[in-house]
């Protein structure tokens, strides 16, 4: 998920591009931007890059272990069928 500081920065940047005639509504629009951004981003199932990398590494190790176990099982099955 986005860092709250990043969310604040995005809302502030959006409010800075408001036309001069609407400058009086700037803080209200910035609050609305923040709420809209937060509610829409919460719909996504986002994770941090660190967490993603950790899970990818865990998956890689699990796949390696599974391949080793499958090979071991195949070897044991061959030994049993050879007897």
pLDDT (tens, 9 = 90+) of the chain, 83 residues, equals 567 788 788 888 887 888 877 777 877 888 888 888 888 877 887 788 899 999 999 999 999 999 999 999 999 999 999 86
Chain centroid to CA 77: 42
Report the pLDDT value the prediction gives residue 2, as an integer from 0 to 100. 63
Report the pLDDT value the prediction gives residue 32, as an integer from 0 to 100. 86
pTM: 0.51
Report the pLDDT value the prediction gives residue 58, as an integer from 0 to 100. 97
Dihedral over Cα of 38, 39, 41, 46: its sign: positive
CB 11 within 8 A of CB 29: no
């Amino acid at each position: 998920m986005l860092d709250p500081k990043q969310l604040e920065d995005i809302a502030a940047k959006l409010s800075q591009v408001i036309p001069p005639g609407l400058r009086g509504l700037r803080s209200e629009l910035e609050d609305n931007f923040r709420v809209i951004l937060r509610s829409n981003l919460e719909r996504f199932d986002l994770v941090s890059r660190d967490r993603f990398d950790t899970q990818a590494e865990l998956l890689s190790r699990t796949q390696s272990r599974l391949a080793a176990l499958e090979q071991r099982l195949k070897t044991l099955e061959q030994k049993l069928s050879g007897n």
